[in-house]
Chain A
Amino acid sequence: MGGDKIDVAIIGPGNIGSDLLYKILRRSKYMTAKLMVGIYPDSEGLKRAKSLGIEATSEGIEAIRGRGIRIAFDATSAAAHLKNAPILEEENIVAIDLTPAAIGPYVCPVVNLEGHFDRPNINLITCGGQATIPLVFAVSSVCTVRYAEIVATIASKSAGPGTRQNIDEFTQTTARGIEKVGGAEKGKAIIILNPAEPPIIMRNTIYTLVDHIQKDRIAHSITSMIERVQEYVPGYRLRLGPIFEDNKVTTMIEVEGAGDFLPAYAGNLDIETAAAVAIGENVAKRMVKAGGGG
């Protein structure tokens, strides 16, 4: 491969890993999907990758060494990522971490990617965080946000076993992300699983309590932030608001996925894979510009 694209790997050939692969194959300008890493030879995800012409290995993380991979997306689990991360760092591979391991800084591409390009490890927070933090930030960038509370409602079918077995991780990590990345002094996150059929599209309500409310500036900031998120998640839509009541701002959005590999209702998963690819794309672009292509 010439100097115009960066070779990347995906670790974890599950639904998330497969969606990442589809997104990179279909739309990436600066990344070449080179390798899918799994641990089970019978994995459907590995077979799928092979059928798409991608090299797939069931030999685990060690197989990533010495192949010229520069960026790896980790879609395994927090425990697995803790083991994978040192190996990736040894190999000088930038890790984009979709697990809750949070070794690296929390990053939301439209908010704080700028400050983290050179990090060896970047964490995606949570799906609810990726969907709501941009709007908390939109408000906090024009006035002081004393408190931000988000309610993420997702289709039961889109919540995998990892989320279900450790739902506290979602609420706690998202709340921290609202504070650290969203810019709220205090954050709270609530997640609701709705089993309705057909599955519902991800819904998010973002409440903020602010000082010196400036309606026009907040409304404008929210509108432009939604447009920026739409650049990588076209199905990110305003449903209602912002509604202003005293010092409270309420905004509701829905997130429809691109339907690459994951179903369109699973906007919660799509926004996370889309954000990961957006981060990868930016990191790869800088690598290419620095003259370090594959």
Chain B
Amino acid sequence: MSGKVRIVDTTMRDGSHAVSHQYSIEDITRISSALDKAGVYGIEISHGDGLAGSSIQYGWATHTDEERLKAASRVVSKSRITVLLLPGIGTREDLKMAIENGAKIARIATHVTEADISEQHIRLAKDMGLEVMTFLMLAHMEKAEKVLEQAKLMEGYGADVVYVVDSAGAMLPDDVKKRVGLLKNKLDVEVGFHAHNNLGLAIGNTVAAVKEGATAVDGTLGGLGAGAGNAPTEVLTAVFDKMGYETGVDLYKIMDAAEDIVRPLMQRPQVIDKSSLILGYAGVYSSFLLHTYRAVERFDVEPRDVLVELGRRKVVGGQEDMIIDVAYELSQKRVLEGGDNEGRVDQNRQDRG
């Protein structure tokens, strides 16, 4: 095996969920500088839910996207500053602001079946000279053929790379191979992969994706991220080095960045606890985890029950308000039935067929 793999580090975007979007400007500066020196291809900086994600629905960030981008721009020289935008949340105005503040890569993300809402944003980013990577999120929910159909739309709008995004950390290596492999065969543009570690497969799945031909992959320092976290950038660097792939990332520098800068910022250990495991098992958007913890406190219900019910209702990314709805409904049900909820997980498994 040999070839090049580009690593986009998303510690300051997807990782931002795990610190409830509370990075200080000093954190942003230190992490950006360390990533730039280590040589990652892209450094993604945005609210966890993309530009303009700071809200009641997704959580307020300490600083605006603009303030964070400005701070990063001051210290980044080699790597490309990257932003995420979810059509329906952010707009082209937000994208223009990011470009004015140094963004070189735009990542435009939609649910796996909704690629056609991304056209105006992809075209704007291309017209303004950016590299465009697009995301098909919760890609485990659809078969490979459907993922391809949607990927082709994004390719047609001008995407340079189309990512298969395992937002729920629900894919097994074979699921990754089918989707990435089909896209690699049928698209003219590059294929990327974004993992979550809810089933402990973030690294394994990313390796599977690269073996199928993915050439852009995402990681975060120390695996910091939504749910059980992302593929740790430093581990990806080591693994690809051993496999003979060139990433351009300095292993010692990236390990130091994870250990010395990011690990001390972690508000909770980045492990597969029972709730994160359920995200992967039930196929629920990883960033729902911390919102669920907050909701269960208010309504006194079991987080696993909430997550399983969200999976059963097939909620998609962005529907954080449904967490309150489900938690409330479960709390009412418990009052009515007066019983506990044991065995619900097994029932759900049957439902999912």
Nearest chain B CB to A278's CB is how many angstroms away? 27
Q: Is the CB of A190 within 8 A of B55?
A: yes
Closest residue of chain B to A149 (Cβ to Cβ) is B56
**A252: Cβ under 8 A from any B Cβ:** yes
Flag A181-199 by CB within 8 Å of B: 1 or 0 each.
Answer: 0000000101111111000
Q: Is the CB of A168 within 8 A of B328?
A: no
Which of A149, A161, A240 is within 8 Å of B57, CB to CB?
Answer: A149
Which of A166, A192, A195 is within 8 Å of B318, CB to CB?
Answer: A192
| B residues near A168, Cβ cutoff 8 Å | 87, 91-93, 120-121
Q: Is the CB of B55 within 8 A of A188?
A: yes
| A residues near B316, Cβ cutoff 8 Å | 192-195
Flag A132-163 by CB within 8 Å of B: 1 or 0 each.
Answer: 00000000000000000101010010010100
Flag A212-231 by CB within 8 Å of B: 1 or 0 each.
Answer: 00000000000000000000
Within 8 A of B (CB), among A25-41: none
Within 8 A of A (CB), among B111-169: 111, 113-114, 116-117, 119-121
| B residues near A166, Cβ cutoff 8 Å | 120
The segment from B179-187, B231-239, B319-327, B336-344 that touches chain A is B319-327
Report the interface size for chain A: residues with CB under 8 A from the other chain: 32
**A106: Cβ under 8 A from any B Cβ:** no
| A residues near B91, Cβ cutoff 8 Å | 168, 171-172
**A250: Cβ under 8 A from any B Cβ:** yes
Q: Is the CB of A194 within 8 A of B319?
A: yes
Which of A172, A188, A193, A250 is within 8 Å of B111, CB to CB?
Answer: A193
Q: Is the CB of B88 within 8 A of A192?
A: yes
Q: Is the CB of B88 within 8 A of A252?
A: no
Q: Is the CB of A207 within 8 A of B88?
A: no
Q: Is the CB of A240 within 8 A of B120?
A: no
Closest residue of chain A to B329 (Cβ to Cβ) is A240
Which of A193, A194, A243 is within 8 Å of B117, CB to CB?
Answer: A193
**A239: Cβ under 8 A from any B Cβ:** yes
| A residues near B88, Cβ cutoff 8 Å | 167, 170-171, 190-193
**B313: Cβ under 8 A from any A Cβ:** yes
**B266: Cβ under 8 A from any A Cβ:** no
Q: Is the CB of B92 within 8 A of A240?
A: no
Closest residue of chain B to A188 (Cβ to Cβ) is B55
| B residues near A153, Cβ cutoff 8 Å | 319, 321-322
**B349: Cβ under 8 A from any A Cβ:** no
Nearest chain A CB to B141's CB is how many angstroms away? 8
Instruction: Give the CA-CA distance A151 to B319 in the complex, in Å.
Output: 8
Instruction: Give the CA-CA distance A231 to B119 in the complex, in Å.
Output: 38
Closest residue of chain B to A196 (Cβ to Cβ) is B314
| A residues near B314, Cβ cutoff 8 Å | 194, 196
Tell me which of B88, B120, B319 has the highest count of chain A C-beta atoms within 10 A of its own C-beta.
B88
Nearest chain A CB to B1's CB is how many angstroms away? 37
Q: Is the CB of B325 within 8 A of A240?
A: yes
Nearest chain B CB to A99's CB is how many angstroms away? 17
**B315: Cβ under 8 A from any A Cβ:** yes
**A50: Cβ under 8 A from any B Cβ:** no
| B residues near A196, Cβ cutoff 8 Å | 313-314
| B residues near A239, Cβ cutoff 8 Å | 325
**A67: Cβ under 8 A from any B Cβ:** no
**A165: Cβ under 8 A from any B Cβ:** yes
Instruction: Give the CA-CA distance A114 to B74 in the complex, in Å.
Output: 53
| B residues near A130, Cβ cutoff 8 Å | none
**B97: Cβ under 8 A from any A Cβ:** no
Nearest chain A CB to B106's CB is how many angstroms away? 14
| A residues near B321, Cβ cutoff 8 Å | 151, 153, 203, 205, 252
**B89: Cβ under 8 A from any A Cβ:** yes
Instruction: Give the CA-CA distance A166 to B294 in the complex, in Å.
Output: 34
Instruction: Give the CA-CA distance A190 to B56 in the complex, in Å.
Output: 11
Instruction: Give the CA-CA distance A256 to B111 in the complex, in Å.
Output: 24
- A207-B328 contact in complex given A165-B116, A167-B88, A194-B316, C-beta closer than 8 Å: no
Instruction: Give the CA-CA distance A191 to B322 in the complex, in Å.
Output: 14
**A47: Cβ under 8 A from any B Cβ:** no
Q: Is the CB of A190 within 8 A of B120?
A: no
**A164: Cβ under 8 A from any B Cβ:** yes
Q: Is the CB of B89 within 8 A of A190?
A: yes
**A248: Cβ under 8 A from any B Cβ:** yes
- A248-B56 contact in complex given A192-B318, A194-B314, C-beta closer than 8 Å: yes
Closest 6 pairs between A and B when the two form their complex, measured CB to CB: A205-B321, A196-B314, A168-B91, A195-B113, A207-B56, A191-B88
- Which residues from chain B sit less than 8 Å from chain A, CB to CB? 55-57, 87-89, 91-93, 111, 113-114, 116-117, 119-121, 313-319, 321-322, 324-325, 328
26 A-B contacts, Cβ less than 8 Å apart?
Answer: A149-B56, A153-B321, A156-B114, A159-B117, A161-B116, A164-B114, A165-B120, A167-B88, A167-B120, A168-B120, A168-B121, A171-B88, A172-B91, A190-B89, A192-B319, A193-B88, A193-B111, A194-B111, A195-B114, A196-B313, A196-B314, A207-B56, A239-B325, A243-B324, A252-B324, A252-B325
19 extra interface residue pairs, beta carbon distance < 8 Å, beyond A194-B111, A194-B316, A252-B324: A149-B56, A149-B57, A151-B318, A156-B113, A166-B120, A168-B91, A168-B120, A172-B93, A188-B55, A190-B88, A190-B89, A192-B316, A192-B317, A192-B319, A193-B114, A195-B113, A195-B316, A203-B321, A243-B324
